[in-house]
Amino acid sequence: MKKLFAILAVASVMTACNGAGEEKAATTDSPKTENPVTEAVNVADSANKVMTTVVDSANKVMTTVADSAGKVVEKVKDAVKH
């Protein structure tokens, strides 16, 4: 337990002393063109488009499965009649 406290003490001293000496200048490499609200709306629109695509694909698959199941049922009915 003493080792743990010693490590935490050293880490806290190193952290406290590390940030005081140098200040970073503000970088303007990539200025933001959109505000966070606009970005959130864009993300929501993209998510909505993806969900619509997924729902359409799922509906197509379910329709195909239902058609195939119906065909199988008809074949079984025809086989039972004979």
**Residue length, the chain?**
82
Look at the chain and report how many structural domains it folds into: 1
pTM over 0.85: no
- In-domain check, residue 61: yes
pLDDT attached to residue 53: 92
pLDDT tens for each residue of 3-61: 777 777 777 767 666 555 555 555 655 555 668 888 888 899 999 999 999 999 999 99
HSE-CB of 5 using CA atoms within 13 angstroms: 2
Q: Evaluate whether residue 4 is within a structural domain.
A: no
Please report whether residue 23 resides in a domain: no
> Which residue shows structure tokens 């940030």?
19
In which domain, by residue range, is 68 found?
Answer: 38-82
26: in domain = no
Give CA–CA dist 37/45, Å, rounded: 12
Question: In whole angstroms, what is the distance from residue 73 CA to residue 61 CA?
Answer: 18
